[in-house]
Amino acid sequence: MDNRCKCKRIDDMIWYEAAMISTFPGVFDGCDDNYEVECRLTEAGVISPSDSPDSETCAVVVYFDNASQADGFEARLAKYIEEHTPVKA
């Protein structure tokens, strides 16, 4: 799995945080900020109703209640990134 899709895990806290537009070039073209990225990921089902998004202009931030939720998010995000990364000619 792409390390850019991995959640941070410290003690009982599990979260994902990244400046998505610069971290994944070409994937979020057309998004002005990470709030728009969060909306796009929510609409695509990457961020699920059980996740707790808390994004900022500069980064998408999502908190998880348990490792299972985080693992599911990582898998969904990796798949989304793979499917939406522009192919280089």
Cα 75 to Cα 35: distance, rounded to the nearest angstrom: 21
Whether residue 89 is contained in a domain is answered as no
13 or 89, greater pLDDT: 13
DSSP string for 28-41:
TTT-SSHHHHHHHH
Torsion of CA 82, 58, 17, 54, to 10 degrees: -110
**Per-residue pLDDT tens digits for 30-72:** 999 999 999 999 999 999 999 999 998 899 999 999 999 999 9
Whether residue 36 is contained in a domain is answered as yes
Number of domains in the chain: 1
**What CATH number did the domain enclosing 22 receive?**
3.30.1360
